[in-house]
């Protein structure tokens, strides 16, 4: 079979991310599961999405909630069985929903049989599956100064063989050695296994850090991620991705979205440019850093202008005009995932303007060029967890940063809790709020992580019957994307504004043009619209203030969003 045969259906897709542990519990053990997902598929059909990205459901000791895999071809028993999974896939396909699985191949769990073998002796055939090195100073110090994404050293000493292994995440997540062709072949087998079972694509975890610079040199000291200049976007990763594409992915009708940390637009194009034959799109993080300085834990006030600048840059740079040798690239549009705070709490207002601002954010994002990704609960405007005690948080990253902040930086408990409250990944991991029942309809028993106390006000069941709800608004957005081709293929152009809080852009293809207007503030602001355009030129399509405004030139009210067809 030939890659060219397939239509690029993913460009018209709308993806919904499920974090299985927190979506729906079917057997009342407090943990979401696969049968739970099956129960909620009709909800997803009504929403209008047509692809599900499922965060890991593989066997895992759950040091990092499934991103530490101990068996890539079987299902974690808390989530169900492979039979359940097959049933889920069948039920999805029956409803026209495709399934994208999470491929976590930078590292395995330390309980994966490969690692168990690898650490058993220096001459084990699987020794080279991982990155083992002798320590410095007669073994007393780690091989280099690299630090982990979850803070602390990136090396763990193993007394049995007197060497250290590299782990860029937790010490229970040893990094695989991608320079070893056997490791690449194992990954290909895993891909084939799931593709042959019928999956439609992969979200590839931290794909741009697989290849490490030869010799593993010391990195320049940084407040976080010392050493990263020696593994971010190393030239060989591009070879490896083309190898996966050539040997496996091109033979199936599937797509890939790579999670690429700290990439610039130009680096991203090397992964997604159509001529590169590597990935179909990437998740970048530039817009996820606009409220931080250098590091996610150094938080600064959110300024809409910064966000808009980044969004426009990605829209413009990926069109490929600056680098025709790479070809055009395709964007992945997201504000949320299981690692990020809730967008309404972060870029909107989860108080008075909760509903308006959640709708505005969706308008600003999902009419851009690219494939929309909706993270579970985002479509009902779920907010940050607002936990008050450290014990309420479950995430390994959160607990690690708390320890480091207190012990090494000498920050007060209060200061650390403030950071965590804003930035912890658990903000996105509280149970999906289906109803106002005790456990939000997620489960009948106390869940693995507490339900957000606002479930009585924010839940899907309330919103399903309300035409003015955030959920209904998301349905409208998805329907509009399906109706207007220009929203898929049209060119993007920002209409720059004097106000730093207004974001207006157009999508244009041939004679069709759609204008999207959003206000990121609680003030009313006059938009700047070319004078030549009269009121009659604008056909109102949708907005978050109900009734059609009198004129497109009219003030943008607090967090207002309006969408017009330009004639």
214 has catalytic annotation: no
Binding partner of 205, given ligand ISL, Ca ion, none, CB within 5-8 angstroms per partner class: ligand ISL
Query: Over the range 249-264, which residues count as b (16 or more CB within 10 Å of their CB) and which as e?
Result: bbebebbbbbbbbbbe
Smallest separation (angstroms) from ligand ISL to the CB of 282: 12
Of 33, 175, 259, 350, the catalytic one is: 259
Residue 81 is a binding residue for Ca ion (CB under 5 A) = no
CA distance 381 to 376: 10
Least distance CB 20 / Ca ion (angstroms): 9
Q: For residues 206 and 249, which CB has a smaller minimum distance to ligand ISL in the complex?
A: 206
Question: Residue 397's binding partner, choosing from ligand ISL, Ca ion, none, with beta-carbon cut-off 5 to 8 A by kind?
Answer: ligand ISL
Q: How far is the CB of 27 from Ca ion (least distance, A)?
A: 4
Q: Which does 426 bind (CB under 5 to 8 A by kind): Ca ion, ligand ISL, none?
A: none
In the complex, the residues that contact ligand ISL under the rule CB under 6 A are 64, 67, 104, 149, 169, 205-206, 259, 261, 296, 338-339, 397, 425
| Per annotation, catalytic residue among 102, 205, 350, 450 | 205
Distances (CA, A) of 82 to 73, 87, 99: 9, 9, 15
Beta carbon of residue 437, minimum distance to Ca ion (angstroms, whole number): 16
In this complex, which beta carbon is closest to Ca ion, that of residue 443 or of residue 476? 443
444 belongs to the binding site for Ca ion (CB under 5 A):
no
Nearest to 361 by CA among 375, 341, 377, 381: 381
Question: What is residue 387's three-state secondary structure?
Answer: coil
Tell me the C-alpha distance between 103 and 251, whole Å: 18
Give the residues across from 175 on adjacent strands. Answer: 107
Beta carbon nearer to ligand ISL, 151 or 497: 151
The alpha carbon torsion through 314, 265, 426, 104 (nearest 10 deg) reads 130
Q: Phi and psi for 491 in degrees, rounded to 5? A: -70, 150
Using the minimum distance from each CB to ligand ISL, give the nearer residue, 425 or 475: 425
Q: From CA 118, how far away is CA 351, in angstroms rounded?
A: 52
Choose the binding region for Ca ion from 33-41, 347-355, 485-493, 517-525 (rule: CB under 5 A).
33-41
**Distance, CA of 492 to chain centre:** 22
Tell me if 420 sits within 8 A of 405, measured CB to CB: no
- The site partner of 339 among ligand ISL, Ca ion, none (C-beta below 5 to 8 Å per kind) is ligand ISL
Report how far Cα 154 is from the mean position of its chain's Cα atoms. 24
Long-range own/partner contacts, residues 403-409 (CB < 8 A, 24 or more apart): 404/151, 404/152, 405/297
Q: In the sheet that 163-166 helps form, which strands lie side by side, from edge to edge?
A: 132-133, 163-166, 155-158
Smallest gap from residue 104 Cβ to ligand ISL (A):
5
Q: Is 205 a catalytic residue?
A: yes
15 versus 261: smaller Cβ distance to ligand ISL: 261
Closest CB to Ca ion among residues 29, 509: 29
CB-based contact 227:155 (threshold 8 Å): no
Q: Contact between 76 and Ca ion (CB under 5 A)?
A: no
Instruction: Quickly count: other Cβ atoms within 10 Å of residue 414's Cβ.
Output: 7
The residue (of 33 and 336) whose beta carbon lies closer to Ca ion is 33
Q: Which of ligand ISL, Ca ion, none does residue 31 bind to, with CB < 5 to 8 Å depending on kind?
A: Ca ion
Tell me how far, at minimum, the Cβ of 298 lies from ligand ISL, in Å. Answer: 12
Q: Where are the alpha helices (DSSP H) in 198-303?
A: 235-247, 265-272
Question: CB under 5 A: which stretch of 23-31, 262-270, 538-546, 552-560 binds Ca ion?
Answer: 23-31
Our finding on whether 84 is near Ca ion (CB under 5 A) is no
Least distance to ligand ISL, CB of residue 247, Å:
24
Q: Which does residue 29 touch among Ca ion, ligand ISL, none (CB within 5 to 8 A, set by kind)?
A: Ca ion
C-alpha 60/C-alpha 519 separation (Å) is 44
Question: Does the footprint of Ca ion cover residue 31 (CB under 5 A)?
Answer: yes
Q: What residues act catalytically?
A: 205, 259
């Amino acid at each position: 079979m030939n890659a060219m045969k397939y239509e690029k259906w993913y460009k018209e897709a709308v993806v919904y991310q499920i974090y299985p542990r927190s979506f729906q519990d079917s057997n009342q053990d407090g943990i979401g599961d696969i049968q739970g997902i099956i129960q909620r598929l009709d909800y997803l059909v009504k929403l209008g999405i047509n692809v599900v990205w499922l965060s890991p459901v593989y066997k895992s000791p759950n040091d990092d909630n499934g991103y530490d895999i101990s068996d890539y071809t079987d299902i974690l028993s808390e989530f169900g069985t492979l039979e359940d999974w097959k049933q889920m896939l069948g039920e999805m396909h029956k409803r026209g929903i495709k399934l994208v699985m999470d491929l976590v191949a930078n590292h395995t769990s330390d309980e994966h049989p490969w690692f168990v073998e690898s650490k058993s002796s220096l001459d084990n055939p699987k020794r080279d599956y991982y990155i083992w090195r002798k320590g410095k100073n007669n073994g007393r110090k780690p091989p280099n100064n690299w630090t982990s994404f979850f803070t602390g050293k990136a090396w763990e000493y193993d007394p049995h063989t007197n060497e250290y292994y590299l782990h860029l995440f937790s010490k229970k997540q040893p990094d695989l050695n991608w320079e070893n062709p056997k490791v690449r072949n194992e990954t290909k087998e895993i891909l084939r296994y799931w593709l042959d079972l019928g999956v439609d694509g992969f979200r590839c975890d931290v794909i741009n850090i697989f290849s490490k610079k030869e010799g593993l040199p010391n990195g320049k000291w940084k407040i976080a991620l010392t050493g990263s200049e020696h593994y971010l976007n190393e030239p060989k990763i591009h070879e490896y991705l083309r190898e996966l594409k050539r040997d496996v992915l091109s033979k199936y009708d599937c797509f890939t979205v790579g999670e690429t940390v700290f990439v610039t637009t130009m680096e991203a194009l090397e992964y997604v440019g159509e001529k590169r034959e590597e990935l179909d799109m990437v998740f970048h993080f530039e817009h996820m850093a606009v409220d931080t300085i250098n590091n996610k834990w150094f938080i600064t006030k959110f300024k809409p202008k910064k966000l808009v600048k980044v969004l426009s840059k990605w829209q413009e740079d990926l069109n490929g005009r600056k680098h025709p040798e790479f070809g055009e690239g395709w964007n992945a549009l997201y504000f949320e995932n299981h690692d990020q705070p809730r967008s309404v709490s972060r870029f909107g207002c989860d108080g008075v303007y909760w509903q308006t601002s959640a709708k505005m954010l969706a308008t600003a994002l999902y009419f851009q060029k690219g494939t929309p990704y909706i993270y579970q609960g985002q479509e009902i405007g779920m907010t940050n967890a607002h936990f008050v005690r450290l014990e309420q948080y479950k995430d390994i990253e959160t607990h690690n940063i708390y320890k480091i902040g207190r012990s090494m930086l000498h920050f007060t408990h209060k200061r650390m809790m403030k950071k965590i409250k804003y930035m912890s990944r658990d903000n996105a991991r509280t149970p999906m709020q289906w109803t106002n029942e005790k456990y939000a309809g997620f489960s009948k028993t106390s869940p693995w992580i507490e339900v957000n106390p606002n479930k009585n006000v924010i839940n899907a069941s309330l919103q399903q019957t309300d035409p003015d709800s955030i959920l209904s608004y998301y349905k409208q957005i998805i329907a509009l994307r399906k109706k207007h081709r220009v929203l898929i293929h049209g060119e993007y152009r920002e209409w720059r504004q004097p106000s730093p809080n207004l974001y207006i852009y157009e999508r244009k293809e041939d004679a069709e043009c759609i204008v999207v207007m959003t206000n990121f503030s609680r003030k009313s602001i006059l938009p700047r619209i070319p004078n030549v355009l009269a009121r009659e030129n604008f056909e109102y399509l949708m907005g978050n203030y109900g009734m059609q405004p009198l004129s497109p030139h009219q003030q943008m009210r607090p967090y207002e969003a309006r969408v017009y067809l330009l004639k």
